[in-house]
Amino acid sequence: MAEPTASQGQGITRREFLNYVWGAAISLFLAEFGIGAYLFMLPRFREGEFGADFDLGVLSDILPQPDSGPAEFPGSKTWLLNIGSKEAAKGQGKEGLMAIYKVCTHLGCLYKFEPTTERFECPCHGSKFHLDGTKIQQEGPAPRGLDRFIVELKDENGGVIATTPEPGPGEDTYPPLPLKPEYANLRVVVRTGQRKNGGAPKPDPA
């Protein structure tokens, strides 16, 4: 009597088995890829965590005077600055609103603002920076200026009215956000997940 064949319900052939294995592998890969893409699109940081967007408050309530010392926001690891004509001339030459990361670009030390010299100074290795974050070339080993965050000014409905401009021709970092009187009642939102390099060091013009 002849032995039963696969077609008579006694099992599957080698080819069918390999097809099932390949099919299962491809299905698993597609499922993992889909889950990964979904998780990638989700917000990576919760409100209040560094890396998220921070609402610092109404501009008129928190804005420092032009060329004065910065306003400090420890939760967002941010210095908020109002660069006027005096400090602009020392650094990148642009006036306006800036949010600067509070970590030195050398080895990650926490630098501080020195009122007596009107600049940022790192206590670890001596790097020094103008108020707009420009690295003073002859002062310390930091390779670039202080990193900057994207700043958005939003109305009461959450609409973005103004934001940090893109670098223009000849600029190697993001310039300050130019201020206008009509911005006074807008809310300042710092996007700590969007950190931009601070630009090349420059000689101290003083």
Give the contacts of 205 (CB within 8 A, at least 6 positions apart): 89, 90
Confidence at residue 33, expressed as pLDDT on a 0 to 100 scale = 60
Do 92 and 179 belong to one domain?
yes
Residue 141 lies in a domain: yes
82, 114: one domain:
yes
In a domain, 174, yes or no: yes
Residues of the domain holding 20: 13-41
Is 83 in the same domain as 114? yes
Strands, E, within 93-155: which ranges?
96-101, 112-114, 119-121, 128-129, 148-154
Look at residue 128 and tell me if it is in a domain: yes
Q: Which regions of the chain are under pLDDT 50?
A: 1-8, 38-48
In a domain, 119, yes or no: yes
Is 35 domain-assigned?
yes
The total domain count for the chain is 2
The CATH number of residue 190's host domain is 2.102.10.10
The pLDDT, as a whole number, for residue 30 is 72
Read off the pLDDT of residues 58-78 as tens digits, 9 standing for 90 and up.
999 999 999 999 999 999 999
Helix (H), strand (E), coil (C) string for 141-182: CCCCCCCEEEEEEECCCCCEEEECCCCCCCCCCCCCECCCHH
